[in-house]
Amino acid sequence: MEQNRSIVKITTAIVMITAFITPFTGNAINLGIPQIGREYGLDQFGLSWIVTSYLMASAAFLLPFGCVANIKGRKKVFPTGMFFFSVTSLGCGLALSFPVTALLSLLSQRDYWGKGGLG
């Protein structure tokens, strides 16, 4: 019985942390937007796509990923989604390191990041 309580506490802590991290990191790009705009000479329209790509991916894939979680089981989908979210988070951080394809890479990584956050 005591082991079940500790598993419940650990599970609750993990869910609470990921429930905080996903929206926090999704909005963290807002701090870097002015610098990205100056560095790459982007106007407001171009910068809005960097922010919007994450939100569009999250909105578009929320229901399909929810169905997959219902079919496959949340215990399988959640760790997969968090792994995918972590890898694409690293990809977003590295995207601007390659100037030739930096913006395209950042947009695609933000899109994948939004999908991974649904896990």
Helix, strand, or coil (residue 1): coil
Q: What is the pLDDT of residues 35-45, one digit of tens each?
A: 888 877 778 88
Distance CA 117, CA 101 (A): 24
pTM, two decimal places: 0.68
Task: State percent of the chain over pLDDT 70.
Answer: 84
Average confidence (pLDDT) over 61-76: 86
Predicted local distance difference test score (pLDDT) of residue 79: 84
Q: Residue 91 contacts by C-beta under 8 Å, 6 or more apart in sequence?
A: 105, 109, 112, 113
CB 113 within 8 A of CB 92: yes
In order, the DSSP letters of 95-107 are HTTSTTSHHHHHH
Predicted local distance difference test score (pLDDT) of residue 97: 66
Radius of gyration of the chain (CA): 17
Predicted local distance difference test score (pLDDT) of residue 99: 61
Predicted local distance difference test score (pLDDT) of residue 104: 67
**Is it the case that residue 119 has pLDDT exceeding 70?**
no
Distance CA 22, CA 20 (A): 6
Sign of dihedral through CA atoms 68, 74, 79, 83?
A: positive
The ranges assigned to domains in the chain are: 2-116
**Is it the case that residue 115 has pLDDT exceeding 60?**
yes
pLDDT confidence band for 118 (50 / 70 / 90): low
